[in-house]
């Protein structure tokens, strides 16, 4: 009996003895590239942050800024540097219902924002589908979500205060320091530490959820006519099947249409618990483990969403989607995101091309969701160079060097296909794309890195995104 | 009374508690931003356990078996309730209940062990008791880790509740000679 227990312990030690599980190294959600840092400091007060920056400069240490660390390309840490964890710097500073604005510290999560604005019947304009992320982190990646009318996050940011490398705190908006506004939004923490943010809000409303099954070939037309063309539809998300029986051919769409006949008071209680995490997690594990599981998961998802047909939901509740069931912590492998922006009329062609690449490279695709982003050139590193569909792809990948090399090759081929269709890709994820691919997708890169050198000549703010994509 | 069933039931109790305990600490830590708040939750447990023991002491001699059964059922209910708790006050209340259950369990297991062993022959029984309960605890912790990785901490609470349920059944069986 005791021997069995000892054997189990030894087995467990060996199984978890991988770099991605080393508690003394720092990494992000991807668990790729774990390194030792000087220290992780919790941001608490403004003066403390200013002092920290001063200390880092004197000691020639780098500074990286971290929120929930859900970016996956080493954007939030750097070897031997200081990591400033902003999650405790999270107070809601003020809500102004007349101006429809909220001011929060950068570490506040969208959940806190929703809680603060819900009583005023106000709602966030643009954020990710889940509300677990920090506002500062979301701004640094210029996030986008299910809302099809409000553009990417930059559009709803009124202003923020930025602690720059020279130790100054600057007010940044479209009027004051407009250049920094365009650089730091979607700037991956390279231009300074965002301290607090003023966001423009919109009205909370009641939506009816409508679901529709469609084919990949019909999706662009369907979207333009039935979704974008219908002014009542406010939010939209679609899914593409990764089940072998319907691999990248079947889709279903969920539309959220405003229904003014439904009184908001009946639906505005915020949902605070994630529903059905245990069965969803079991189903998602099946989806991860076998072809049979993928088919079963797709059928079950469809059934689940059909059941939600015509369900009424407040905007604030629609913007707090479940995420816990997808968490995965096993050693040696992880579920990583990639996101591709494809011009609306190129969608079906791209998905068709993607099918071959995924199969040829044996990429293990777990899930694809589709959102819509409007053309937006405001951020220097803007991804939506025209109206695009964002394909958020979740891949199950090995974390070993050899496994990663294989995935990298496949992803680079996929990005070639993206580029061929006139698309771009999203930067918060693992650094699989080449420097050349990055430069072609983001023509603003030269400006971005030149300004980085101007505002931060000593490269105080540092991360792996800079290291990998600065190039020569 | 059947001593084997006492050992079985209490091994099941340590399996249930060992499975949840270290992860439960993480769960509690996540509830508050300060360690002081976390400390308070534990103080409530120990104080209620101490206070309840004084009420229980004069009453337990003739009802050790029943008290042991109630403690397992009480813990089962507490484990079922945890995933549904949404306020710190409820956590404190459950800590209070669990403190009382802990007093019942510890006092009655010792009482039954003493009652049903004879002076000079207790060593082997106590040794066997300790071995099985400790080994169960070792398995439980490892199993708990797997369960959270593959499912959620809520699933772990439910699994623990199930084990407490089995321990209650084993205590019930114990009455038969």
Mean pLDDT score, A131-137: 95
Q: Is any Cβ of chain B less than 8 angstroms from the Cβ of A9?
A: yes
Mean per-residue pLDDT of chain B: 88
Q: How confident is the model at residue A248 (pLDDT cuts 50, 70, 90)?
A: very high
Q: What angle in degrees, to the nearest 10, is found between the helix axes of B122-150 and A2-15?
A: 30
Q: Does B139 touch chain A (CB under 8 A)?
A: yes
Residue range(s) of every CATH 3.40.462.10 domain in chain A: 206-435
Q: What is the per-residue pLDDT across A312-332, written as a single tens digit (0 to 9) for each? A: 999 999 998 877 788 888 889
Interchain CB contact of B26 with A (< 8 Å): no
CATH class of A87-203: alpha beta
Over residues A43-61, the mean pLDDT reads: 95
Interchain pair B154, A278: CB under 8 A: yes
Report pLDDT for B32. Answer: 62
Query: Looking at the complex, does the CB of residue B141 fall below 8 Å from at least one CB of chain A?
Result: no
Q: Does A37 touch chain B (CB under 8 A)?
A: no
Q: Is A1 on the interface with B (CB under 8 A)?
A: yes
**Residue B88 distance to chain A (closest CA, Å):** 15
pLDDT (0 to 100) of residue A276:
80
Cross-chain Cβ contact B33/A282 below 8 Å: no
- The complex's ipTM works out to 0.79
- Determine whether the interchain pair B155/A329 forms a contact, defined as Cβ–Cβ distance below 8 Å: no
CB contact set of A36 (below 8 Å; sequence gap of 6+): A24, A25, A26, A79, A80
Q: Is the pLDDT of residue A250 over 90?
A: yes
Contact with chain B for residue A5, Cβ under 8 A: yes
pLDDT, residue B33, reads 65
Q: Is residue B177 over pLDDT 60?
A: no
User: What is the pTM for the complete model shown?
Assistant: 0.90
Which tens digits make up the pLDDT trace of A352-382? Answer: 999 999 999 999 999 999 999 999 999 999 9
Q: Of the ranges A188-192, A409-413, A437-441, B19-23, which one carries the lowest mean pLDDT score? A: B19-23
B1 in contact with A at a CB cutoff of 8 Å? no
> Does the pLDDT of residue A74 top 60, yes or no?
yes
Cβ contact A277–B152 (<8 Å): yes
| Residues in B touching A8 (Cβ below 8 Å) | 139, 142
pLDDT for B84 equals 87
Contacts of B142 in chain A (CB under 8 A): 8-9, 12
Give the fold, CATH level 3, of A206-435: Vanillyl-alcohol Oxidase; Chain A, domain 3 (3.40.462)
In contact, B10 and B2? CB cutoff 8 Å:
no
pLDDT tens digit string along A342-353?
A: 999 999 999 999
Which range has the worst mean pLDDT, A14-23, A43-52, A258-267?
Answer: A14-23
CA distances in angstroms from B97 to A50, A72, A82, A181, A311, listed in the order given? 47, 43, 44, 54, 40
DSSP label at residue A78: -
Q: Are A285 and B150 a contacting pair at CB < 8 A?
A: yes
Task: Work out the angle at residue A391's Cα, subtended by the Cα atoms of residues A466 and A222, and round it to the nearest 5 degrees.
Answer: 150
pLDDT at B118 over 80: yes
Q: How confident is the model at residue B1 (pLDDT cuts 50, 70, 90)?
A: low
Give Cβ neighbours of residue A453 (< 8 Å, ≥ 6 apart).
none
Average pLDDT over residues A394-411: 96
Higher per-residue pLDDT: A321 or A241? A241
The mean of the pLDDT values for chain A is 94
Q: What is the pLDDT of residue A135?
A: 97
Asked whether residue A406 carries a pLDDT value surpassing 60, the answer given is yes
B3-114+121-174: CATH topology is: Growth Hormone; Chain: A; (1.20.1250)
Start and end residues for every CATH 3.30.465.10 domain found in chain A: 87-203
Which chain A residues are Cβ-neighbours of B11 within 8 angstroms?
A: none
pLDDT for the residue numbered B28: 74
Q: What distances in angstroms separate CA B69 from CA B9, B45, B64, B105, B164, one per listed residue?
A: 10, 20, 9, 8, 10
Considering only CB atoms, which chain B residues are within 8 Å of A329?
149
Contact list in B for residue A285 (CB cut-off 8 A) is 150
Q: What are the contacts of A277-280 at 24+ separation with CB within 8 A?
A: A277/A322, A277/A324, A277/A325, A277/B152, A277/B154, A278/B151, A278/B152, A278/B154, A278/B155, A280/A322, A280/A325
The pLDDT score that the predictor gives to residue A272 is 81
CA of A398 vs chain B CAs: smallest distance (Å)? 17
Q: Would you call A115 an interface residue with chain B, using a CB distance cutoff of 8 Å?
A: no
Q: Looking at residue A388, what is its pLDDT?
A: 95
B80 vs A: CB within 8 A = no
Do the chains contact at B86 and A272, CB–CB below 8 Å?
yes
pLDDT surpasses 60 at B158 = yes
């Amino acid at each position: 009996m005791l021997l069995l227990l000892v054997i189990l312990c030894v087995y467990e030690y060996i199984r978890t003895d991988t770099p991605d599980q080393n508690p003394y190294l720092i990494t992000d959600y991807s668990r790729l590239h774990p390194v030792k840092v000087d220290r992780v400091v919790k941001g608490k007060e403004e003066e403390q942050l200013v002092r920290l920056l001063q200390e880092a400069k004197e000691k020639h240490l780098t500074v990286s800024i971290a929120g929930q660390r859900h970016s996956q390309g080493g954007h939030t840490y750097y070897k031997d540097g200081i990591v400033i964890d902003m999650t405790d710097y999270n107070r809601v500073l003020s809500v102004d219902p007349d101006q429809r604005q909220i001011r929060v510290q950068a570490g506040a999560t969208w959940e806190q924002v929703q809680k603060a604005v819900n009583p005023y019947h106000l709602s966030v304009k643009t954020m990710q589908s889940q509300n677990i992320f920090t506002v500062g982190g979301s701004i640094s990646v210029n996030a986008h979500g299910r809302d099809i009318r409000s553009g990417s996050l930059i559009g709803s940011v009124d202003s923020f205060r930025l602690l720059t490398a020279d130790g100054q705190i600057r007010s940044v908006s479209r009027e004051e320091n407009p250049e920094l506004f365009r650089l730091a939004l979607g700037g991956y923490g390279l231009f300074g530490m965002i301290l607090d943010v003023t966001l423009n809000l919109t009205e909370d409303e009641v939506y009816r959820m409508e679901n529709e099954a469609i084919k990949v070939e019909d999706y662009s037309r369907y979207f333009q006519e039935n979704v974008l063309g219908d002014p009542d539809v406010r939010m939209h998300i679609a899914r593409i099947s990764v089940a072998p029986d319907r691999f990248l051919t079947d889709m279903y769409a969920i539309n959220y249409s405003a229904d003014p006949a439904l009184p908001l008071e009946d639906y505005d209680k915020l949902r605070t618990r994630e529903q059905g995490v245990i069965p969803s997690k079991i189903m998602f594990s099946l989806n991860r483990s076998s072809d049979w599981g993928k088919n079963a998961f797709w059928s079950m998802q469809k059934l689940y969403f059909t059941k939600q047909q015509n369900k009424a939901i407040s905007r604030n509740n629609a913007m707090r989607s479940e995420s816990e069931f997808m968490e995965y912590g096993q050693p040696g492998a992880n579920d990583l995101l990639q996101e591709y922006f494809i011009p609306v009329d190129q969608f079906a062609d791209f998905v068709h091309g993607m099918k071959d690449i995924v199969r040829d490279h044996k990429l293990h695709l777990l899930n694809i969701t589709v959102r819509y982003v409007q053309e937006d050139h405001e951020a220097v590193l803007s991804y939506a160079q025209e109206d695009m569909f964002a394909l958020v792809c979740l891949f199950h990948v090995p974390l070993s060097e050899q496994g990663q090399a294989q995935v990298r090759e496949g992803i680079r081929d996929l990005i070639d296909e993206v580029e061929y269709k006139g698309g771009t890709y999203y930067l918060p994820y693992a650094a699989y794309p080449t420097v050349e691919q990055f430069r072609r997708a983001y023509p603003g890169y030269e400006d971005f890195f030149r300004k980085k050198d101007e505002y931060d000549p000593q490269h105080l703010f540092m991360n792996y995104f800079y290291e990998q994509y600065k190039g020569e | 009374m059947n001593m084997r069933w006492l050992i079985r039931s209490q091994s099941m109790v340590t399996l249930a508690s060992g499975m949840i305990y270290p992860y439960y600490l993480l769960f509690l830590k996540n509830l508050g931003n300060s360690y002081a708040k976390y400390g308070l939750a534990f103080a409530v447990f120990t104080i209620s356990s101490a206070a309840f023991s004084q009420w229980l002491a004069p009453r337990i001699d003739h009802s050790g078996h029943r008290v042991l059964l109630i403690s397992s059922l009480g813990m089962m209910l507490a484990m079922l309730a945890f995933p549904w708790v949404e306020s710190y006050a409820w956590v404190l209340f459950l800590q209070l209940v669990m403190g009382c259950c802990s007093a019942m369990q510890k006092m009655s297991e010792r009482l039954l062990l003493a009652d049903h062993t004879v002076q000079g022959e207790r060593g082997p029984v106590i040794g066997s008791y300790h071995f099985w309960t400790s080994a169960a605890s070792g398995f439980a912790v490892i199993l708990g880790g797997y369960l959270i990785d593959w499912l959620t901490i809520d699933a772990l609470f439910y699994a623990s509740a199930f084990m407490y349920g089995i321990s209650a059944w084993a205590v019930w069986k114990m009455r038969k000679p």
